[in-house]
Amino acid sequence: MPQRSTKSLSALLVASSWLGLAISGCTPSNSANTNTTAQNVSNQTQEKTSLIRLGYQKGGVVPIARQRGELAKKLAAQNIKAEWAGPFDRCATLLQAISANQADIGGCGDIPGLSAIAAGQDICIGAVQRPRPESLSSAIVVRGNSPIRKPADLVGKKVAVNQAGAGEYLLLKVLEKENISKDKVQRVFLAPTDAAPALYQGTVDAWAVWEPYISVAKLEHGARRITTTHPAPTYNVMLVRNEAAAKSPEAVKAAFSGLGEEYDWLNTNTAKSAEFLVKDIKISPAVAKQVIENQGPQLLVTPNADDVAKIQKTADWMLEQKILPKRVDVAATICPTAK
């Protein structure tokens, strides 16, 4: 597993800053107007290349980093200004914001990320969180009084999923594992905000979803799981606007280095992380504690060849299932900052 080198990254950024100062210091001194113009251009260039905008959904590491304030301080020490875009209700809207130049970086599951790339969104993969097979952060849930006890009971039933997202992928993989034809279960395409009331009110029979919705459904609405671990755990990916990766590579690298440290903090400060989660998504302390436990330790790394191959396998399966409109070459979607 590749390890981050914060010291090396910091040294590179300091060296880059020093070089910029050295070059600007060589401006000829025989004209005050020339000096002023050159300085203005230098300031404009620095302002453009040192800004990084972090997009986020509720419940992720980015809003926790925003609340803590440490990431912004670390970036500021490297002459990089952090701005925040969000919260967005789901990956699809976050990725649209990145493509629309409203944010530079955002984290999503690999399924919606691959769907966005296949749809032509101008983004690349800058960092990943590897799957944890033992994680309980995704599940198919049903109402507490439902007769559905196992995946086989879903035959003939309606299951809410987010189209071309993690929910649809989870359902299809569960059905595949249980040798159940996908045509025997009706997929109802709903965003989480619509799927939750649909389940509670009985419009759908089950819901394929992820945290924090699982813990909210269980602890506040009496829902229960009919699956535990994921039959095909997925990656989380940090996606970057291509223009930002090309024009501000050092800011992107510094942001990922800082976010990696935020994950390290989260892993060793679970109680405090739960407190931040309560503030971020307005859930009860009991739900927040359960979410943190179900997610388990998280680590942000630069994708290696094995990661690329595994994500490619997922993308090819999605193409076979007609979830993707065309094949995605994953290796070609890795950001230059991650190579």
**How would residue 168 be classed by pLDDT, with cut points 50, 70 and 90?**
very high
Q: What is the pLDDT, as a whole number, of residue 89? A: 81
- Looking only at the bridges linking them, the beta strands covering 186-189 and 123-129 are unpaired
How high does pLDDT run on average in the chain? 86
Domain ranges of the chain: 6-131+234-280+300-338, 138-225
Neighbours of 161 (CB within 10 A): 25
Largest CA distance in the chain: 86
Higher-confidence residue of 40 and 127: namely 127
pLDDT of residue 167: 94
Closest by CA to 143, choosing from 69, 208, 221, 219, is: 221
Record the pTM: 0.79
- 6-131+234-280+300-338 against 138-225: fold identical: yes
Report pLDDT digits (tens) over 248-306.
999 999 999 999 999 999 999 999 999 999 988 889 999 999 999 999 999 999 999 99
CATH class of the domain comprising 6-131+234-280+300-338:
alpha beta
pLDDT of res. 106: 96
* Segment 91-150, tens digit of pLDDT: 889 999 999 999 999 999 999 999 999 999 999 999 999 998 889 999 999 999 999 999
Q: Quick check: 294 and 270 in contact, CB under 8 A?
A: no
Burial of 339 (0-12, 13-18, 19+ CB in 10 A): exposed
Angle between helices 213-221 and 285-295 (to 10 degrees): 140
Q: Give me the CATH topology for the region 138-225.
A: D-Maltodextrin-Binding Protein; domain 2 (3.40.190)
Amino acid identity of 293? E
- The per-residue pLDDT for range 228-251, each reduced to its tens digit, is 888 988 999 999 999 999 999 999
